[in-house]
Structure 1
Amino acid sequence: MDGIKSAIPVSLGYISIGAAFGIVASAQGYSIWQVFFMSTFLYAGAAQFIIVAMMAVHTPISVMVLTIFLVNFRMFLQSLTATQVFPHQSLRSGMMMGTLITDESFGLLTLEHAKRSKITPVWMHGVNVMSYLTWIASTVVVAALGNLIPNPEKYGIDYALVAMFIGLLALTLDSMVRHEKLPVVLIVVISAVLLYYVSGIVVSSYVAVLIATIVGALIGAVMTNPEKKRVGEGS
Structure 2
Amino acid sequence: MSKSYNFMDGMKAAIPVSLGYISIGAAFGIVAIAQGFSLWQVACLSIFLYAGSGQFIMIAMMAVHAPISIITLTIFLVNFRMFLQSLTATQIFPHQSLKSGIGMGTLMTDESFGLMVLEHATNTPITPSWMQGVNVMSYLTWILSTILGAAVGNLIPNPEKFGIDYALVAMFIGLLVLTLDSMVKNERLTIVLTVLFSTMLIYYLVGIVTSSYVAVLIATLIGALIGAVMSTPKETRRAEVI
TM-score calculated relative to the size of structure 2: 0.67
**Aligned position for 2:65:** 58
* Structure 1 residue 143 displacement after superposition: 0.6
Describe the superposition over 1:118-141 as per-residue Cα deviations: whole angstroms up to 9, x where unpaired. Answer: 111011000000000010111012
Return the letter of the residue paired with 2:131.
M
* Structure 2 residue 110 is the aligned partner of structure 1 residue 96: no
CA spacing shift, 1:210–1:84, aligned 2, 3 Å: farther
Asked if structure 1 preserves the Cα contact closer than 8 Å seen for 2:10 and 2:133, the reply is: yes
Q: Is the 8 A contact 2:195 2:227 kept in 1?
A: no
Q: 1:6 aligns with which of 4, 13, 19?
A: 13
Identity of aligned residues (%): 61
Structural mapping, 1:67-216, within 5 Å: 67-148=74-155, 150=159, 151=162, 189-190=186-187, 201=198, 206-207=220-221
Unmatched 5+ residue regions in structure 1?
167-188, 220-235
**Cα contact 2:33–2:150 (8 A) shared by 1:** yes
Cα shift at 1:206: 4.3
Cα distance, 1:146 vs structure 2: 2.3
Preserved contact between residue 25 and residue 35 of structure 1 (Cα < 8 Å): yes
Moved segments of 4+, more than 3 Å: 147-154, 156-159, 193-200, 202-215
Give the residue type in structure 2 aligned to 1:43: Y
Q: Would the aligned equivalents of 1:6 and 1:127 in 2 still touch at CA under 8 Å?
A: yes
The 2-side partners of 1:63 and 1:45 are apart by 18
In the other structure, the counterpart of 1:32 is 39
Matched residue, 1:179 = none
Residues 41, 121 of structure 1: CA spacing in aligned structure 2 closer, same or farther, 3 A cutoff?
A: same
Q: Let me know the Cα RMSD of the aligned residues.
A: 3.5
The 8 Å contact of residues 26 and 147 in structure 1, kept in 2 or not, is answered as yes
**Alpha-carbon offset, residue 109 of structure 1:** 0.7
Aligned positions, number: 192
Structure showing greater Rg? 2
Contact 1:20–1:152 (CA under 8 A) maintained in structure 2: no
The separation in 1 between residues aligned to 2:163 and 2:24, in whole angstroms, is 9
For the residues of structure 1 that align with 2:90 and 2:45, how far apart are their CA atoms? 27
In 2, the alpha carbon distance for the partners of 1:214 and 1:61 equals 29
Which stretches in structure 2 are left out of the alignment for 5+ residues?
A: 1-7, 179-185, 203-215, 234-242
Matches of 1:44 and 1:152, distance apart in 2: 24
Q: Which amino acid aligns with 2:150?
A: A
Report which stretch shifted further, 72-81 or 195-204: 195-204
Structure 1, 42-51 or 141-150: larger mean CA deviation:
141-150
Q: 1:4 and 1:208, CA in 2 relative to 1: closer, same or farther beyond 3 A?
A: farther
Q: Report what 1:180 is aligned to.
A: none
